[in-house]
Amino acid sequence: MYTFRGGVHPFEGKDITEDKAVINVSPKGEMVFAVDQHIGAPATVCVNVGDVVKKGQIIAEPSGFISANILSSVSGKVKSIEDRFSIQGTKSTCIVIENDNLDTWDEKWGPDKAISDDAWKEYTRDKIIEIVKDAGIVGLGGAAFPTHIKLNPKNFEEIDTVLINGAECEPYLTSDYRDMIESKDSLICGCKILQKVFPNAVIKICIEDNKPSAIKSLAELTANEEKISIVTLKTKYPQGGERQLIYAVTKRKVNSKKLPSEVNVIVDNVGTVVAIYDAVVRRIPLLGRVITCSGDAFLKPGNYYVPCGMNYLTFINETCPFIATPKKIINGGTMMGTAVADLDVPFSKKSNALLAFIEDDEDIYETTPCINCKRCMDVCPINLMPMSMMKCALSLQYEEYNRLNGLECIECGCCTYVCPAKRPLTQNFKMMKKKTSEYLKAKEAGK
């Protein structure tokens, strides 16, 4: 079975929601669209207060090479353009739209514009990439990298492997799994569209062995496909990390200074491939995403398709209420997710799972001194020395942190997970990566 060195196998918690079919949530209340729903330059607002907008209309345009369109998920009127907070706790420009509940589609999009599952074969590679760009598609695996850029590397003819990431190794998350079960035909057609974009590549759908139903049904669907196959991965966190996945399947190595395309590989999440199919064939742009709501604080944990722009609190109150006030809310999985302070914020393309727990387990742990057990080193998938990096973090030694390759840390949380002294390793590395990069930049500039 395909795998990588290091990693951990945390409590999975997937049984809570893995059999829950995706529930479609209708937009309700005021809709708020941030201009930074992707990695790269924030989009530039292209509507004014008072404008009437349609569903699927571009309301903010890319403002740099790495940037993406922002589309309205409702029809209505632009009420204001103002700074608002996101679930990540950052503030950015947001377009606030009063939903008119008429669902009036933009001329370019809508179910009545859908084409047949074969008609796209007449499209050129450039046309497919243009549609993906228009649809505002970004990577839905967490990074939110604009997909039209990823689909268009300079060496696209040299790309020999496209990995479809269905590992979903984070505990509790089941939205990709539901996509692989409920949208399997769309996923396979999306893979065929990617074959047109990368004509010399084979497509490998990579799934951990704890998802046998997805492996079986997709293997049946692709049995006669020459260039699409299923790869079974060992269940281990962070198997779905881009670098770990590439290494596990191709034995090629990528670091923070190298793009996957430089080793002739492209990685796309299953949700992103379904979004590509939706845009190209169903003519539905990226207006929302499937998220898993799980944890003992939810009355109805499950998988929900939530429109971008909808307020988290509105969603919780109307659709997925708490049974008790949670002491811990996490945006994302338990390994890489971040604690949420305020839910009065909008869903975005960057939204991930929402986990809510009645108790905060971390409350009972006390941090004690390092006992040099080296467990953190054994599990680090990047072969780093977390205990030494932590010493640098505590004394703010940026040069030494860089010498230890601390900037290569992928913030996976494995070291923190196994540390018997309960040391907040990953949390410190996040801060150190930022500060060390700033230090090195200033040093290079001679400051």
Q: At 23, phi and psi to the nearest 5?
A: -100, 130
Give 415-442 as a DSSP string. Answer: HHHH-TT---HHHHHHHHHHHHHHHHHH
Q: Judged by CB, which is closer to ligand SF4: 357, or 429?
A: 429
Considering the complex, state which of residue 345 and residue 412 has its C-beta at the smaller distance from ligand SF4.
412
Closer residue to ligand SF4, CB minimum distance, 292 or 426? 426
322 and 298 in contact (C-beta within 8 Å)?
yes
Q: Beta-carbon neighbour count of residue 219 at 10 Å?
A: 14
**Residues lying near ligand SF4 in the complex (CB under 6 A):** 370-376, 379-380, 382, 384, 386-387, 390, 409-415, 418-421, 423, 425-426, 429
By beta-carbon proximity to ligand SF4, the closer residue of 373 and 442 is 373
Provide, rounded to whole angstroms, the least separation between the CB of residue 335 and ligand SF4.
Answer: 9
Q: Answer whether 436's CB lies under 8 Å from 407's CB.
A: yes
Nearer residue to ligand SF4 within complex by CB, 300 or 434: 434
Closer to ligand SF4 by Cβ: residue 183 or 426: 426
> Which residue's CB is nearer to ligand SF4, number 233 or number 418?
418
List the one residue out of 254, 138, 276 whose CA is nearest residue 203: 276
CA-to-CA dists, residue 178 to 19, 135, 168, 337, angstroms: 8, 22, 11, 20
**Residue 397 Cβ vs ligand SF4, minimum distance, rounded to whole Å:** 16
Taking the complex as a whole, the smallest distance from the CB of residue 158 to ligand SF4 amounts, in Å, to 29
CA distance 283 to 182: 19
CA distances from 182 to 111, 179, 188, 277 (A): 19, 5, 12, 14
- Sign of the dihedral through C-alpha 336, 138, 56, 52: positive
Q: Three-class SS of residue 367?
A: coil
Tokens of 212: 């046998």
Is the Cβ–Cβ distance between 37 and 47 less than 8 Å? no
Residue holding tokens 């509105």? 314
Which region, left, alpha or beta, applies to residue 157 given φ > 0 means left and ψ of -120 to 50 means alpha? alpha
Sign of torsion over alpha carbons 404, 6, 415, 357: positive
Which CB atom, from 245 or from 343, has the smaller least distance to ligand SF4? Answer: 245
Indicate the residue among 11 and 65 with the shorter CB distance to ligand SF4.
Answer: 11
CA contacts within 13 A on the Cβ side of 125: 12
